[in-house]
Chain A
Amino acid sequence: MKRLIDIASEQSAMQSVLGLTNVFEGLASMRIAQVKDQVLSSERFFNELWAIYSQIRINKRFSYGRESDDKVIDKDLFIAITAEGGFSGDIDQKLITWMLQSYDPTKQDLIIIGHHGAIQLTQAGVGFKRYFKLPMHDNNINVLPLVGQVKQYRSTIVYYQSYVTLMVQDIKKIELHGAIEAASKKVDKNDHIITEENYIFEPSTEIVANHLESTMLQITLTQAILDSKLAQYASRFRSMRSASEKADEMSGDLKLEYNRTKRFLSDERLKEVINGLRKAEQVA
């Protein structure tokens, strides 16, 4: 049987765990509210820009905003967006496992965003070309270094995490080239087509189109990063909630064990006193 003092010490440690998990749960919940606001605000802005971009019809093939003399690496690029630190549940592991199922180092290069994913790739013995930190801030995310990499490859697939609800997160992938090109052809019946005949482009049609292609790449990457951050916060919230519930349950068990042990010891002491009294009576 455990000593009373040991049970009390375990119980105190469990209370600390419970307190910590509650703090992490609260922090994650706060971040979710903040990022959700950012996502909604940026979505309105980006949708307006998408609507304009999708109406443009000019005599130019989609080229990722590349210059005509830019060399293209004859490989696909895989980008995986993972969490920067731990405490994010098993969602990173799922994403990496899913990505590695289609990964062939002779045909693809890997770029990993987030330290947690980088560690998992290293543990799996998979090398990656570049590592980027997941941006700390939720707004003004600078994706230009990433766009610079994307432009070098013939195509890019982004693996990211998606927020469905607070308790449900999904893993998704998007083929950047296909997604942007498809969006550029999607026009509602009510939309007007933007051409060189009915619009003035300054400084030139080519420069504007190239800039917008590059911008659309940035927007798609930014949205994937924001969606991943939201999913990671939700995943962290979920795992902290479950850890907190487990700690609460264990703390309850320890309290019960403490009380039982205390009563047992008290009963034992009482028995000893009674036995002692009986023996004393017999001697007398």
Chain B
Amino acid sequence: MAEGNKQATKVKTLNVKVASPYQVYFDQPALSISGNNLTGPFDILPGHHNFISLLDRGELVIRTINDEQKIKINGGVMHVKADMATVFLDI
């Protein structure tokens, strides 16, 4: 059990925040976040290079240690820097 916890703490995560002007949909550490832009589908993992992208309409998939969350979006902007991914929706 203690060994399991140690392994869990070793898993690299990035902080993900998904928000619109009036609501925060997700704000916690995650293993990855995936979305779509004009160039196609992409994944953001911990350690990703600094990144700004316009998002296409579709689904954002956020994988955490325990589960996977899907958020339908109409578009937005994603900013990634130093293991912090922020998604601005409805803009």
Contacts and interface: CB of A to CB of B under 8 A. Distances in A.
B14 to A, nearest CB: 16
Interface in A204-252: 207-208, 211-212, 215, 218-219, 222
A52 B79 contact: yes
A45 B20 contact: yes
Contact of A211 (B21, B42, B54, B79): B54
Nearest to A202: B53
Nearest to A195: B50
A201 B22 CA distance: 26
> Which secondary structure dominates chain B's binding surface?
strand
Contacts of B52: 52, 194, 199-202, 208
B51 A199 contact: yes
Given A139-B21, A203-B37, A215-B77, A49 B88 contact: yes
Contact of B38 (A46, A48, A203): A203
A283 to B, nearest CB: 89
A202 B38 CA distance: 8
B21 A201 contact: no
- Residue among B39, B49, B54 having the largest count of chain A Cβ atoms under 10 Å: B54
B43 interface: no
B86 interface: yes
A102 interface: no
A209 to B, nearest CB: 10
Contacts of A106: none
B38 A140 contact: no
Contacts of A208: 52-54, 77
Interface residues of A, number: 26
A215 to B, nearest CB: 5
Interface string B42-65: 100000011111100000000000
Contacts of B88: 45, 48-49
A49 B42 CA distance: 22
A41 B50 contact: no
A49 B52 CA distance: 12
Contact of B51 (A45, A202, A219, A222): A202
Interface string A1-39: 000000000000000000000000000000000000010
A198 interface: yes
Nearest to B17: A48
A41 B22 contact: yes
B68 interface: no
Contacts of B79: 52
A38 B37 contact: no
Contacts of B19: 45
B11 interface: no
Contacts of A261: none
Given A41-B23, A200-B52, 7 more contacts: A140-B90, A199-B52, A200-B53, A202-B37, A202-B38, A203-B53, A203-B54
Question: Which 3 residue pairs are nearest across A and B when measured between Cβ atoms?
Answer: A203-B38, A202-B53, A42-B21
Interface of B: 19-23, 37-39, 42, 49-54, 77, 79, 81, 86, 88, 90-91
17 contacts: A41-B23, A45-B19, A45-B21, A48-B88, A139-B22, A140-B90, A194-B50, A199-B49, A199-B50, A199-B51, A201-B53, A202-B37, A202-B38, A203-B54, A208-B52, A211-B54, A215-B91
Interface of A: 38, 41-42, 45-46, 48-49, 52, 139-140, 192, 194, 198-203, 207-208, 211-212, 215, 218-219, 222
